Amino acid sequence: MKRFAGQTVFVTGGNKGIGRGIATRFAEEGAQVAIAAIEADTPEIAAAIAAETGAKTLGVTLDVTDAAAVREAYAEAEARLGTLSVSVQNAGVITIAKVEDLTEREWDLNLDVNTKGVFLCCQEAVKRFRASGTKGRLINTASGQARQGFIYTPHYAASKFGVVGLTQSLAKELAREGITANAICPGIIHTEMWDYNDRVWGRMLGEYGPGELMAEWVEGIPMGRAGTPAEVGALVAFLASQDAAYITGQTINVDGGLIMS
């Protein structure tokens, strides 16, 4: 299918993991895709996705906590790829620490990237949707920890609960303009972030070897396996499509049934 032919999609954190799965899905479906991430190799990743899919892509190195940089990145995307139709706020970080060891810097980093960064990109996208009269799509990556917090990550959970509240507020403001805003809550997904989670939580929760804690948690998933970035990308593509035009303000789990709420 080429549901997004002629459309421009902006994906933050699109250079790896879930974000790369999302960017690749849009590229496969005919979109022009702007891939933004803080890492310096982002242009090379965008070029690789273009080579894989035949889509036109743009790689932008971006710190989503910098409002001026966000404005410049969206302006470049529209100048190079065309009028914005979809903005996916996926860039995120996590750190893990006992509450007494959790630093103010870690708190600020998680809230700045995971919540403020989502806001700044949504704000810029909405300005552009309104300027062009586009019935655009905002899709924000939250987390299973936007449903229930977990041990040693109060700052991360707070940042992701914030994404859900932000999404609902924007959905109510923008609904009459035909602009939708939805959030997704990935569970355990095969990514570098989950490699980090397995390693650090495994050390803090017991003497787990590499992969052992994640395997134990996966046993609790009704489907009996971790998800893939491509499966998350499929949900995001649906929410961005015309088929989802009457869906807004929703937070949808993509976790194999791990959390059913």
Catalytic residues: 156
CA distance 164 to 186: 13
User: Residue 1 burial by CB count (10 A; 0-12/13-18/19+): exposed, middle or buried?
Assistant: exposed
Take residue 220 and report the two structure tokens written for it: 């609790």
The dihedral sign for the CA sequence 3, 46, 94, 172? negative
Radius of gyration of the chain (CA): 18
Q: How far is CA 242 from CA 198, 201, 223, in A?
A: 37, 40, 29
DSSP letter for each residue of 221-252: STTSS-B-HHHHHHHHHHHHSGGGTT--S-EE
Q: What is the DSSP-derived secondary structure letter of residue 208?
A: P
Which residues are bridge partners to 160 per DSSP? none
